[in-house]
Structure 1
């Protein structure tokens, strides 16, 4: 509906921005961020350099858009996995495995996009502030999985720190409430949810990041099997059934 209400000029501008991003993603897939060059994009599209700068003011501006899109697509993949788990009435442990598998599938399906949002893509680059909310949207579906868990002593220090974080930052409580409403007014449950999501992110970033960067080549194991084992241990640490 919104697109239908746009004028021809606005639609053309949006279509051109989309095409620029598509060309940029091809460059990223071929050679990483080092290969991303606005002048090369302009040449590939038959545009002059000044013409391209009417759509993206700088390489950082283009990176902002690509990073936002990557986070949004990852969040969509996680939301879809959470919905499938809910429809199948899966247990918390099953939901955790399903979410981890969905995250891995998204990342290894487009490793150049995954690597773009994990760490600074280029020295000195500062991501826009709104990527924080987008990153939280990716992790959000993990929160309700852990809210009713029974953390083992080994992870209790993380839970305690999350409880302190809740007390210090009201925005964190709002994040939890958006995904685990039943935990919103229960500090202990919210702290468990946050601790579990944080540990899940660390496990995923470690295993999936190594796989996406090609670091598992020649190591004689399946990256999916490794991640499954790691997630199983995390589920055990929170007593998920």
Structure 2
């Protein structure tokens, strides 16, 4: 027998156990960092044997991939919903900052130091392209009289990170400038580097975006 969503009881149970495993994984990452992630430790906390847990995730890398996929999916859906509701670049920056601040460990899993020995599969990269596609839409077309820069020319043939989006190179340049300015501030903020400086990182982000070139 299946439920209205098309899942059998066994499939529902499997999905629930995988979700619980991922929740324990996030807790472990928060306490010890992603490099210390241990399926055996998670199994012990859940009252399972190691071999039993490996029926749900074949290994550490598969679990990390699931966490990364969930993080990118959450961010991509959040950014798309904000843009479709009328958010401009400044609005998208606020939404991304709120998303990151709500769970810094999730943010750093996808935008922090790469996990040693781990290589993300192509499908996780494809989800990240969805985020950049929204930013490219928000950036719009460049002014017709804006002269091209050497980096614009370089971007004509170096845009794999956009999913080879067809936007003009100047638009790609603007989206990249937005991305690097936002994440530069966000990474420092979430790592606690502004804690003793007594200023509002949100206002710094706003100033950085106001200083974006028109291209």
Same fold (TM over 0.5): yes
Structure 2, unmatched stretches of 5+, are: none
1:35 CA displacement: 4.1
The Cα offsets for residues 211-234 of structure 1, whole Å up to 9 and x where unpaired, read as 121121102211111111111111
Is 2:83–2:138's contact at 8 Å kept on the other side of the alignment? no
1:174-213 matched pairs, under 5 angstroms: 175-176=165-166, 190-213=168-191
Paired residues, number: 213
1:134 and 2:127 aligned:
yes
Could you say which residue in structure 1 is the equivalent of 2:104? 111
Higher relative contact order (CA 8 A, sep 6+): 1
CA drift of 1:9 comes to: 1.2
Q: Do structure 1's residue 231 and structure 2's residue 209 form an aligned pair? A: yes
Q: Structure 1 residues 71-80 or 117-126, which shifts more?
A: 117-126
List gaps (5 residues or longer) in structure 1: 87-94, 177-182, 184-189
The residue aligned with 1:49 is 50
Higher deviation after alignment, 144-153 or 133-142: 144-153
- For the residues of structure 2 that align with 1:170 and 1:216, how far apart are their CA atoms? 31
In structure 2, distance between residues paired with 1:21 and 1:232: 39
Residue aligning to 1:217: 195
TM-score under structure 2 length normalisation? 0.89
Q: Residues of 2 paired with 1:75 and 1:196: CA distance? A: 19
Q: TM-score, normalised by structure 1?
A: 0.80
Higher helix share: 1
Cα distance in structure 2, aligned partners of 1:229 and 1:203: 10
Using the TM superposition, give the Cα deviation of residue 193 of structure 1 relative to its aligned residue in structure 2, in angstroms.
2.3
Residue 73 (structure 1) aligns with: 74
Question: 2:129–2:163: 8 Å Cα contact kept in structure 1?
Answer: no
